[in-house]
Every structure is written in C-alpha cells, then in structure tokens.
C-alpha cells in the first residue's frame, strides 16, 4: 500500500493507492510530500520511486536487502536511514522488531515499512487534527516528528517489558520456574538489542547534523533535535540499561535455581545409590558358589537376609530424612 501525503500551507491532502505510477503522477514537486510504502515488496515499483526522486539506483538494493542499519554516509543523494524499532508484540518469546528505511530529500520524505508501523499511522492522524505548516518548517520537521513519536513509543514498550519481567520475577523468586523461564528471559534480553541500535542511530544522526556541510536538516529542526530528542534518548538509554541489568539478574538467579535443583536431584540419586550399595553387597556375597556356606542350609537363612535388607532400606531412608537429605 502506498500513502501519499501532500503538505500545502495549513492543509494536508492524503491519497492512498497500490499502483506506483498513479501515486507518482499525483506528486506535486512544488509541495512537501511524505510517501509511505507499507508492506510494499514490488522491486520494480521501488526502482521507479527511486528513479523518480533521482536517487542513486543502489538505494533499491539497500531498501530490499536492509543492508544498511543506521545512517548511510557513503552516498550523498539523500539522508538514508535503515531503522529497527522495538515493539511490544511478542512472537516465539521474542519482542518483534519493525524494520525499514527512511529517505529524506530536499522536499520529500519516504518511509519504507515492511509491516505497518502503528506509530506513524497515529502520527498522521495527529497531523491531520493539528495545524502544522510543513511548508514553513520544511519536510525535515516530519523526520523530527517521526523520531519523536518513536522515542515516545519506547516508554510504552519499556512499561510492557517491565510488566512481563514482574511476572517472570515472581516465578524466579518462588523457584517455580524451570529452564523455559530462563530461555524466555534470555530471548527477551536478546530481542531488546535493537532498542540500543535505534538509540545509537539517533545519537549518530544528531552528531552528524552538527557538521556545517550537513544539508538535509535545517537549523530550526536541528535545534529541536538537540534540545528535545537528545534528552529523550539519554533518558531512554538509562531505562534500557536498567531493564537489561534486571534481565541479567533474573537470568543469574534462575541459573542458580536450575543448578540447585539439578544438585538436589543428584543428591537424591546418590542417597538411593548408598541405600542399595549394602544390599548389593549382601546379594553378591551370598551369590558366591561355595559349597560350605552354613547359612544357606538353615531354614531361617532366607527370611533373615530379607529382614536385614529391609532394615537397611528403612533405616537409611529414616536417617536421610532426619538429616533432611530427602
């Protein structure tokens, strides 16, 4: 699906279509535009979009192969950012990551979304309700709004992760979890790494835009990035580090729980082995094929051995329970 947003003074025109040629014909180069490509896997259509905006043809491969994560500094035809956004949706015990690309030009911004990013849909609804003069601010202000809403969404994601960890912590501290609990925490910790990369990308962008020759973002928008987004990124980074430390602590405790449970099982097997060791000795002793073993000819020999074996078994079990080994 292709969604074209055309910004004129205090007015927003929205057009949706699946056909690339139809959308490109609707573009007015005298206005700032935002083109959203949602779940758009047409390579030929993507090449048409790249060609229409006079971008380097290699951008098509970058978009499809997702070979670039972060800001591309090699080609200067646009500001190209391959993003990874952590979401609160879970699949196979891992938080899902939304991936795609953002392309910023002089009067256009294009977002390629493998799956629809709800944050951007909400942003468009907010823009429609508010009066924002994109013609005055410039299309780079849209980039600022996108990053701002993505960072705000991380608070929701981290709150959701915290609630998940609260439940897992109850399992861990109650020693009711097993290896599944450990793997669940480990998978959650591993999947949150994309959040770190996202923060690093934004900080890298802010660092690059302070260069004098950086042409894609105007000075007023640079000021917004430096005054607001840097502060948000720093706060989220601290929150992210705290969550990672919390996960690490839970994993360590759960490892100890698993090791303790394994050790307890080994102790029980050892106790059982020690109980049957004298019994094995008795049966082995009287299993020897000697001719002169007086006990074998006595009528009380068999029941006496059985009684001795039972005394050993019950006596060993009672002793182990008294010592709290069982």
Q: Using a pLDDT cut of 90, give the percent of the chain over it.
A: 2
Higher-pLDDT residue of 179 and 291 is 179
Is the domain of 246 the same as that of 310? no
* pLDDT greater at residue 11 or residue 149: 149
Among candidate residues 258, 283, 301, the one where a domain is terminated: 258
User: pLDDT tens across 221-257, in order?
Assistant: 888 888 888 888 888 889 888 988 998 888 888 888 8
- The DSSP result for 124-155, as a single string, is HHHHHHS---HHHH-THHHHHHHHHHHHHHHH
The residues that bridge with 35 in the sheet, in sequence order, are 4, 110
Highest mean pLDDT among 27-31, 83-87, 287-291, 296-300: 27-31
Residues 292 and 175 in one domain: no
Number of structural domains the chain divides into: 2
Mean pLDDT of the chain: 81
* pLDDT on residue 67: 55
Q: Give the pLDDT score at 140.
A: 86
195, 203 contact by CB (below 8 A): no
- Asked if residue 305 lies in contact with residue 314, where contact means CB atoms within 8 angstroms, the answer is no
Grouping H, G, I as helix, E, B as strand and the rest as coil, residue 55 is coil
Q: Are 162 and 267 members of one domain? A: no
302's tokens:
């068999």
pLDDT tens, residue by residue, 150-184: 888 888 888 888 888 888 888 888 776 677 888 88
CA separation for the pair 26, 22 (Å, rounded): 7
Do 91 and 240 lie in a common domain?
yes
Task: Evaluate whether 97 touches 111 at the Cβ level (below 8 Å).
Answer: no
Alpha helices in the chain (DSSP H): 20-26, 43-52, 58-65, 118-129, 134-137, 140-173, 179-191, 193-209, 219-224, 230-285, 294-297, 301-322
**Domain CATH code at residue 282:** 1.20.58.340
Burial 152-168 (b: 16+ CB within 10 A, else e): ebbeebbeebeebbeeb
Residue 68 has pLDDT above 70, yes or no: no
Q: Please check whether residues 157 and 59 belong to one and the same domain.
A: yes
Q: Which of 237, 258, 279 is the last residue of a domain?
A: 258
Question: What 8-state DSSP symbol labels residue 40?
Answer: -
Please report the pLDDT score of residue 296 as a whole number.
67
**pTM reported for the whole predicted model:** 0.73
Give yes or no for residue 132 having a pLDDT over 70: no
Residues 143 and 158 in one domain: yes
Sole residue written with tokens 């793997």? 183
Average pLDDT score over residue span 313-318: 77
Which tokens belong to 88?
């609160």
Per-residue pLDDT tens over the stretch 187-220: 888 778 777 777 888 888 888 777 766 778 888 8
Do 124 and 273 lie in one domain? The reply is no
Domain-ending residue, one of 258, 284, 307: 258
**pLDDT, average across residues 98-106:** 85
* Contact indicator for 16, 3 with CB cutoff of 8 Å: yes
Give 290 or 51, the one with higher predicted confidence: 51
35 plus 170 within the same structural domain: yes
Mean pLDDT of 84-106: 77
For the cut 80, the answer to whether the pLDDT of residue 268 exceeds it is: no
Order across the sheet with 2-8: list the strands. 11-17, 2-8, 32-38, 108-113, 94-104, 79-91, 70-71
- Assess whether 277 and 249 both reside in one domain: no
């Amino acid at each position: 699906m292709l969604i074209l947003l055309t910004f004129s003074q205090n007015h927003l025109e929205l057009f949706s279509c699946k056909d690339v040629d139809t959308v490109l014909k609707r573009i007015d180069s005298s206005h700032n535009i935002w083109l959203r490509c949602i779940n758009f896997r047409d390579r030929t259509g993507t090449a048409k979009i790249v060609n229409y905006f006079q971008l380097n043809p290699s951008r098509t491969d970058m978009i499809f192969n997702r070979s670039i994560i972060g800001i591309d500094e090699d080609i200067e035809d646009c500001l190209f950012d391959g993003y990874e956004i952590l979401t609160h949706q879970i699949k196979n015990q891992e938080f899902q990551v939304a991936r795609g690309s953002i392309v910023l030009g002089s009067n256009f911004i294009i977002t390629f979304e493998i799956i629809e990013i709800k944050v951007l849909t909400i942003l468009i609804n907010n823009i429609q309700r508010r009066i924002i003069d994109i013609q005055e601010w410039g299309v780079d202000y849209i980039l600022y709004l996108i990053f701002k809403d993505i960072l705000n969404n991380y608070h929701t994601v981290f709150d959701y992760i915290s609630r998940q960890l609260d439940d897992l912590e109850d399992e861990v501290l109650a020693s009711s979890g097993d290896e599944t609990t450990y793997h669940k925490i480990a998978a959650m910790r591993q999947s949150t790494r994309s959040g770190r990369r996202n923060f690093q990308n934004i900080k890298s962008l802010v660092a690059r835009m302070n260069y004098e020759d950086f042409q894609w973002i105007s000075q007023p928008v640079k000021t917004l990035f430096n005054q607001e987004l840097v502060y948000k990124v720093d706060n989220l980074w601290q929150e992210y580090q705290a969550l990672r430390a919390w996960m690490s602590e839970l994993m360590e405790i759960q490892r100890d729980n698993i090791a303790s449970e394994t050790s307890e099982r080994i102790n029980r097997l050892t106790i059982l082995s020690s109980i049957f060791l004298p019994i094995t000795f008795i049966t082995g002793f009287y299993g020897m094929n000697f001719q002169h073993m007086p006990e074998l000819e006595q009528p009380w020999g068999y029941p006496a051995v059985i009684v001795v074996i039972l005394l050993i078994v019950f006596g060993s079990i009672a002793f182990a329970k008294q010592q709290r080994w069982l």
